[in-house]
Structure 1
Amino acid sequence: MEIMPIFPRSFHSGRMWNYHWKWKPSTLLFLFILCIMCVPLSAVSGCANCRVVLSSSSGTFASPCYPNDYPNSQACLWTLRAPTGYIIQITFNDFDIEEAPNCIYDLLSLDNGESQTKFCGATAKGLSFNSSANEMHVSFSSDFSIQKKGFNASYIRVAVSLRNQKVILPQTPDAYQVFVAKSVSIPELSAFTFCFEATQAGNEDDNWTAFSYLDASSLQWLGFGKANDGYFLSISGSKCLLNSALPVKEKEDIFTESFEQLCIVWNNSMGSVGVDFKRNYETVPCDSTISKVIPGNGKLLLGSNTNKIASLKGEIYNFRLWNFTMNSKMLSNLSCNMQGNVVDWQNDFWNIPTLALKAESNLSCGSYLVPLPAAELANCAELGTLCQDGIMYRISVVIQNILHHPEAKVQSKVAEWLNSTFQNWNYTVYVVNISFHLSTGEDKIKVKRSIVDDQRLAVWALLVYNATNNVPLEGKTIQQKLLQNNASLDAGLRLYTVNVKQLGTCAPVEEPKGFHWPPSPPSEHSLPCPDKPGFSVSRTCYRNTSLAFWGPLDVSNCSREANEVANQILNLTTDGQNLTSANINTIVEQVKRIVNKEENIDITLGSTLMNIFSNILSSSDNDLLQSSSEALKTIDELAFKIDLNSTPHVHITTRNLALGVSSLTPGTNAISNFSIGLPSNNESYFQMDFESGQVNSLASVILPPNLLENLSQEDSILVRRAQFTFFNKTGLFQDVGPQRKTLVSYVMACSIGNITIKDLKDPVRIKIKHTRTQEVHQPICAFWDLNKNKSFGGWNTSGCVAHRDSDASETICLCNHFTHFGVLMDLPRSASQIDARNTKALTFITYIGCGVSAIFSAATLLTYVAFEKLRRDYPSKILMNLSSALLFLNLIFLLDGWITSFDVDALCTAVAALLHFFLLATFTWMGLEAIHMYIALVKVFNTYIRRYVLKFCIIGWGLPALIVSVVLASRKQNEVYGKESYGKEQGDEFCWIQDPVVFYVTCAGYFGVMFFLNVAMFIVVMVQICGRNGKRSNRTLREEVLRNLRSVVSLTFLLGMTWGFAFFAWGPLNIPFMYLFSIFNSLQGLFIFIFHCAMKENVQKQWRRHLCCGRFRLADNSDWSKTATNIIKKSSDNLGKSLSSSSIGSNSTYLTSKSKSSSTTYFKRNSNTDSTSMDKSLTKLTHADGEQTSIIPVHQVIDKVKGYCNAHSDNFYKNIIMSDTFSHSTKF
């Protein structure tokens, strides 16, 4: 590869510059000094590091120095990571990179996990890209010349897995429904276990339902909720009260603002219901359910299915159902991985509308960002400063050993081949860190270490590139070089696969505070300890297959004494909320070293270490998760090593943690009680009592009298103390199992010496206060099992039961062993109707459809406003009003979400009220269309209405305005209208009606009245039209069917018949009807434009007459020469069109405004001409002029009216022919 030198260009530029300024030395001196000052300034203030890993839920990143021009010779890499179950969406808000064919100079490369795309110029501006999985890589490189502004991008996590999303329960069944998908068949149930988590926002409603199971006739067979007499479970018509099993006080709710898990079990042979709540399992008798069976193939619905009782006002998560009964032990071991065999919390099991879903990062079974795997350290010290300044590439190749060479020979030959491949290359590179690994590829063939049985050996190496000439080296170039040199491999060896990835440097960070780590390549780095000369803090920059990242911090060398080290760590953890997961891991490791190193720990050091753990507990639960197991083990070891030589009792209290240690004498119980509570004064955080116990304690332990009787001789020697640890913050107890329950109490740990005591005859009695009062009391007593979930730990209920004396504020647990104790509960949670894919599709359809509808509603309105001849009759005026209502309804709907983002309550209320008004106006004008059609085609005579259109306008606009005004005046505005979260992909909010009563009365009820009115009018009108058309003999059956079909379709959209799809959007037909509802109703403005504007002959003529030119333009007198025969034929052809809003035409105009004229009138003077009459032979002559072609064909009127009044038919025809409107059209 030839590299063009850059020095001639710089030299010539400099020579011309010097020549131009050679007579101005002062200016040269000034510019020289200015350059000296500016270059360092640019370096200092210039540009942030551009080789970083971005793992936040959302954020932004930009090219170096943005919005200024990016520097030359850049090689940037942004790695965006998200937890499993999420994808990453990147949007380029600004994009300006040097443009060139194939982006050969400066470029941005985006790797979404499946494909890699290059961008330059301005092509990517405004575009969004999604990753295929939970990781995305964005790289940017620039050459030595021509810089541009660069780019600015934002990114956000998007939840795609239901495990990472909760469901907002619908407060009214008409809002939306959340139920099990139609593909899930629920069997007949003679036993079941269901578990769910839930929250509740306040306790405004005394009665609510969390879920219901209904049959095809909407009869409820299973349900859980709250009634006036307490919490209940309804089974086959039998009501089982659960209050005695739920740890809540009167007028308190079991669910609060934090998720709690609730499990309920039942078997038709037991005659009782088991309730597992807050780690406490209780049974409640319910004899009436014996032998009951719940039928299958029903509908499982989250929330209430009726307006008579409200839904739980909150959220539901992780609803699962089994068709068997779990015992208390199984429930205590329930994890997130245990899937419901009937219904599980996965996308395939539920139909969930988008507005009901809301992603959340701290859900019990949600995914979290797993730390990068342990990575290797770059060992390239022999390269000196090149290891610090060079660009590193990870080479991964698989060699196929065809001839079964010994492994040692293969390794030697491959190492020689790698080193020789890059010798005498155009790029200065060095191969280091060659390592060999037995291949464990996708074939999963087992291999032995001595012989490469599967013929493959994986080879990893580090390639260091000396980039002093600022010439970028792409991974593809290295890959091609290796492939080209494949032939030089030893005989019997073949290059199987090659993969090359560029490694970044560890980003500059300041953590902990006061330690500034500069950008560093993969290696071990150190910084001097503050105020401790001669000692240093060490930290390692690791690398994995694609990036570099900082390892944990080692501060052990910053002090020689444990107390000094502990105090220093304590200072670093003062602000515990700002500690990251990596910080906490490092601190726990350092404290563990101190505890393991010390034989005995005095109270001073113990207090310091306990304060460190207390500060750590102030961090977020997600940050504590990785280090929780080690932290608990270290706290236990610390309690065991506390020095008791000088006192029988030791107690250490901190803000989030308390420790009590008491000495024991073998053969006796030195203590029988331990309790901890709030102090009577502010001298300490907690008050401990080792003797009598406290009345209002937060936690207490009563040891059985025979605790130490049956110990072996060896254990008796070891038993010298009892340790008690109280956890005010419970972030260390996070069950990462698949179906974990929620901890709702403080945690109390107790142990005897360093031995394991279990299977006690008399149980240990532990009383623990709840962190929040639960109305539905079904606690689960559990202990923390450090061996569960691959040593992450998890709750286990073995050997623990909840005592019946437990109440809503505290639980009494009886356990036959010692460990960490807590109280758990299962909380209800909700699901939604529509999965994520359908939700996204429906959202796009709705917004695109509303946009299209707004455009064509405006086109309809503009057409009738622009051409005065089109709006002379009543139907056209009604159509204009309907189009106006639709236009503003769509526009406000499209702008609602954007306006909501301003977070202005008054503005949100105004937008919601306007949206409400125009929705009601749309319904009203569709109803008025139906009424007008009925008057025009059915009530033909004696229907003159004075100021017809004015009265319609008063009703069409006044009635909705009156309703909205009454709503605003009757209640507080913020109680009726406001922001509602509809759980779109990122929890979008929408300004709409908040009050369910207002919604159901003024929206759902109002629509129902208008809809059924329109249906009735639609049927009556179609019967009249089809009955008249059926009497014709001059058309074939096919023509008649097509005409009637077009009439049906046009009236369907005009009268809003498609809104009736809402009545069918439930059960197995929910998804199809949701699509039909969204498509047809969002596009209603388009269909009205097509059938009642674009397809109307008079509209087409006005367009051609005024908007077209050339051969498409229609002359004003183009229709004067048409014969009566042609006109009659044309009029007959317009039958299908005559049903529209603007096709009733002269008929409706005459019938409503002229019917007061006598039916015996034969002639009427034309207002524009002097002609006074027509010959009878021309009575059927109808002009098809565009000025008034909305007249119903005369023969159609004849056929219609014959059925009503044969006696008046002749006079009626002549009245129609001689009307003002008709004479206007004919221009005779």
Structure 2
Amino acid sequence: MLVQCLPNEVTVQQDFPKWVNDVVDDFNPVIINQTDMSSQWELSTLINDVDNISSLLAVRVRKALAKYGNHRILLNASSVLFDVIIQIDSRYTYDGSTVNANQVAVNVPKAIVANRFGGHIAISYVIYSEFDAILNASLETGKEDEIYSVNGRIISITVKVYNGQPLIFDEPIEIVFENFNQNATTSRTHCVYWKFNQTYSAGGVWSSDGCNVSEVNRTYTTCHCYHLTSFSILLQAADDVEIGDVNEAALSIITYVGLSLSLFSLIITLIVMIVYFKRLNYECTSIHINLVIALIIADSLFLFGIEQTKNKNVCTGIAIFMHYFFLVVFMWMAVEAMHMYSKLRNLTHGRSRRKFYVYYPIGWGVPAIIVIITMALRLEGYGTDTACWLAVDKGTIWAFIGPVITIIMLNTTIMVIVLKTFTSVKSVKSKPIREQTRRTLRAAAVLLPVFGLTWVFGLLALNQQTLFLQYLFAICNSLQGFFIFLFHCCLNGQIKNVLFRRCMKVDNTSSSEPTDTTRSTKVAPATTEQ
């Protein structure tokens, strides 16, 4: 057992560096003689033992150092398979711990211990040199057909305080790994820790719980973790066609520029509809106002909240509200389709009109029911390591995709019926074929953005190999708000007439006063002559 290599105490401050080196040197024959390095189980057990021993080593140094008052000391020792770094500090002088060694850098923030504990602080780091190539590289939440590799050093971190109270991670520990494979991308990189579990044949499994990917470039990966244990990074094997960082950056720019334009367009649309509400069709305008409000909130959450992954609770809340408001957007699209179908039935069959107020529970209430059920069944599926959205690997994404597919099918059916009726009108049939085609295509161009058929591209783009569809979806869907502004504000006949009459009224008012003055000037001389 490694604990046998650990002396009970050290009493002379000057002996600390030599003492730590001697203890670590004594580990080598024990490890070589008692550990089968080809066994995943024994390797996992060895990591657990080394972590515990290094922590005990740091605690004993801390106890000895406490006799000499407030001091700071940094000790380094190396063995064949790992390096040990120990930092002892006083709470009153501790301003954070930063270590950079053997292809990994760590920052343990001051907030972990500041103003909370008394006595000395003992921090131990163990950086493993060869284990990354031996330890099982499976991800706990990964699929069976997904292949991973350890792409950085394995490092264990422990922090012990004088009174033994648990740490509270107001800020995350930042770990910067040097990438073994420099083709790493954000979408394929996972910040993980080794989850010891005897039920696994390897003695544990890599898990991403509590760790987020902060930044990935060709050379380094930065992780933020909210607990202590053994950390590393996993790289998922690339598919036949890889998106790459360039395409990811391009898709991000297209999305954010498009959403910014959409938000501006939606705000203008909302203002126009509210100001001239009494002069427009009450039912259609009410539907469009609800749709625009929901889309403004949804796009705003996406624009400012999709990447807020540092705080798990905040990220979960953002994902829940985004799920709700995007469902509201689609539900009001469904309401508009149902309203259009209802008016069509009234026109052709003379049936009574549906009460408009029944649409509000559908538009706002049905999405709430879906979100509440999803939260009750799988709350952990809200928010991922890379985005504040629904998790794909946990199946939560289907709580959004399912309703969207249903609404798209409904709206497609309604659109076909409307277009069929459109082309059967006598005034359209009497036109030349070119004019008839133009009218049909124009009607489809109005309905497609509103009814959300652009999300068909999004559903097809879930396959990473369909890069063209991802670009098509990013362009069309991020500009959906602009499409609504174009077709339901700029090209809306009612709004155009209202604005035209408003402009004419202003023009007549401004021109009436000079006209009266001119007439008065002409009449005045005649009166004088009389």
**Cα distance in 1, alignment partners of residues 266 and 372 from structure 2:** 26
Cα distance, 1:938–1:1022 mapped onto 2, change above 3 Å? farther
Aligned residues: 336
1:1029/1:1040 contact within 8 Å kept? no
Aligned pair 1:966/2:433, yes or no?
Answer: no
Tell me which residue corresponds to 2:67: none
Tell me which residue corresponds to 2:433: 1037
Tell me which residue corresponds to 1:1049: 445
Give 1:908 shift: 4.0
**Cα distance in 1, alignment partners of residues 151 and 453 from structure 2:** 48
Q: 1:941 aligns with which of 326, 340, 349?
A: 349
Tell me which residue corresponds to 1:843: 252
Q: 1:930 aligns with which of 337, 344, 351?
A: 337
Cα distance, 1:248–1:1107 mapped onto 2, change above 3 Å? farther
Aligned pair 1:623/2:31, yes or no?
Answer: no
Q: Which amino acid aligns with 1:1097?
A: G
Cα distance, 1:614–1:575 mapped onto 2, change above 3 Å? farther
Tell me which residue corresponds to 1:981: 385
**Cα distance in 2, alignment partners of residues 1020 and 1101 from structure 1:** 28
Tell me which residue corresponds to 2:424: 1027
Cα distance, 1:946–1:935 mapped onto 2, change above 3 Å? closer
Cα distance, 1:1108–1:247 mapped onto 2, change above 3 Å? farther
Tell me which residue corresponds to 1:1075: 471
Cα distance, 1:1029–1:845 mapped onto 2, change above 3 Å? farther
Give 1:1036 shift: 2.9
Cα distance, 1:735–1:992 mapped onto 2, change above 3 Å? closer
Cα distance, 1:935–1:834 mapped onto 2, change above 3 Å? same
Give 1:1055 shift: 0.9
Cα distance, 1:995–1:615 mapped onto 2, change above 3 Å? closer
Cα distance, 1:744–1:924 mapped onto 2, change above 3 Å? closer
Q: 1:874 aligns with which of 258, 283, 286?
A: 283
Output one character per residue of 1:1181-1201: Cα deviation in whole Å (capped at 9) or x when no partner.
xxxxxxxxxxxxxxxxxxxxx
Q: Give the structure with higher Rg (CA).
A: 1
Aligned pair 1:854/2:276, yes or no?
Answer: no
1:573/1:616 contact within 8 Å kept? no
1:896/1:991 contact within 8 Å kept? yes
**Cα distance in 2, alignment partners of residues 994 and 920 from structure 1:** 16
Q: 2:322 aligns with which of 902, 915, 921?
A: 915
**Cα distance in 2, alignment partners of residues 872 and 1114 from structure 1:** 29
1:672-683 pair list within 5 angstroms: none
Output one character per residue of 1:929-973: Cα deviation in whole Å (capped at 9) or x when no partner.
1122222225532432442x20011111111122223334x2585
**Cα distance in 2, alignment partners of residues 961 and 1114 from structure 1:** 51
Aligned pair 1:1087/2:483, yes or no?
Answer: yes
1:1054/1:1088 contact within 8 Å kept? yes
Give 1:1047 shift: 0.8
1:8-157 pair list within 5 angstroms: none
Q: Which amino acid aligns with 2:364?
A: W
1:152-167 pair list within 5 angstroms: none
> Alignment identity in percent?
26
RMSD between aligned residues: 4.8
Tell me which residue corresponds to 1:1014: 411
Aligned pair 1:1062/2:461, yes or no?
Answer: no
Which deviates further from its counterpart, 930-939 or 1064-1073?
1064-1073
Output one character per residue of 1:828-874: Cα deviation in whole Å (capped at 9) or x when no partner.
73437421111011111111212221221222222111113443342
Give 1:1057 shift: 1.1
**Cα distance in 2, alignment partners of residues 740 and 966 from structure 1:** 37
Higher-strand-fraction structure: 1
Q: Which runs of 5+ in 2 are unaligned?
A: 1-36, 49-70, 87-97, 105-124, 134-148, 156-193, 204-232, 512-530
Q: Which amino acid aligns with 1:843?
A: S
2:270/2:289 contact within 8 Å kept? yes
| 3-state DSSP of counterpart to 2:351 | coil
1:930/1:1014 contact within 8 Å kept? yes
Higher-helix-fraction structure: 2
Output one character per residue of 1:505-557: Cα deviation in whole Å (capped at 9) or x when no partner.
xxxxxxxxxxxxxxxxxxxxxxxxxxxxxxxxxxxxxxxxxxxxxxxxxxxxx
Q: Which amino acid aligns with 2:352?
A: Y
Q: Which runs of 5+ in 1 are unaligned?
A: 1-244, 258-571, 578-609, 627-727, 746-769, 779-825, 983-989, 1116-1228
Cα distance, 1:1105–1:917 mapped onto 2, change above 3 Å? same
2:243/2:464 contact within 8 Å kept? no
| 3-state DSSP of counterpart to 1:618 | strand
**Cα distance in 2, alignment partners of residues 845 and 1112 from structure 1:** 44
**Cα distance in 1, alignment partners of residues 195 and 361 from structure 2:** 59
**Cα distance in 2, alignment partners of residues 993 and 842 from structure 1:** 19
Cα distance, 1:904–1:1112 mapped onto 2, change above 3 Å? farther
2:75/2:85 contact within 8 Å kept? yes
Tell me which residue corresponds to 1:1098: 494
**Cα distance in 2, alignment partners of residues 1079 and 1114 from structure 1:** 43
Structure 1 stretches of at least 4 aligned residues deviating more than 6 Å after TM superposition: 610-616, 619-622, 739-745, 770-774, 1112-1115
Cα distance, 1:899–1:1113 mapped onto 2, change above 3 Å? farther
Tell me which residue corresponds to 1:890: 299
**Cα distance in 2, alignment partners of residues 952 and 929 from structure 1:** 9
Tell me which residue corresponds to 2:60: none
**Cα distance in 1, alignment partners of residues 195 and 434 from structure 2:** 75
Give 1:1011 shift: 1.1
**Cα distance in 1, alignment partners of residues 463 and 377 from structure 2:** 35
Tell me which residue corresponds to 1:422: none
1:265-344 pair list within 5 angstroms: none
**Cα distance in 1, alignment partners of residues 132 and 38 from structure 2:** 22
Give 1:1105 shift: 3.3
**Cα distance in 2, alignment partners of residues 971 and 771 from structure 1:** 24
**Cα distance in 1, alignment partners of residues 507 and 294 from structure 2:** 37
Give 1:917 shift: 1.1
**Cα distance in 2, alignment partners of residues 876 and 827 from structure 1:** 51
1:632-1031 pair list within 5 angstroms: 731=128, 775=200, 829-831=236-238, 833-897=242-306, 903=311, 905=313, 907-938=314-345, 940-947=348-355, 949-968=356-375, 970-971=376-377, 975-977=380-382, 979-982=383-386, 990-994=387-391, 999-1028=396-425
1:1065/1:1073 contact within 8 Å kept? yes
Output one character per residue of 1:958-1004: Cα deviation in whole Å (capped at 9) or x when no partner.
11122223334x2585x353x4222xxxxxxx433358666244201
2:255/2:474 contact within 8 Å kept? yes
Tell me which residue corresponds to 2:74: 575
**Cα distance in 2, alignment partners of residues 1023 and 771 from structure 1:** 60
Cα distance, 1:253–1:830 mapped onto 2, change above 3 Å? farther
Output one character per residue of 1:1126-1156: Cα deviation in whole Å (capped at 9) or x when no partner.
xxxxxxxxxxxxxxxxxxxxxxxxxxxxxxx
1:912/1:993 contact within 8 Å kept? yes
**Cα distance in 2, alignment partners of residues 871 and 911 from structure 1:** 35
1:886/1:1085 contact within 8 Å kept? yes
1:1059/1:1077 contact within 8 Å kept? yes
Q: Which amino acid aligns with 1:921?
A: V
| 3-state DSSP of counterpart to 1:993 | coil
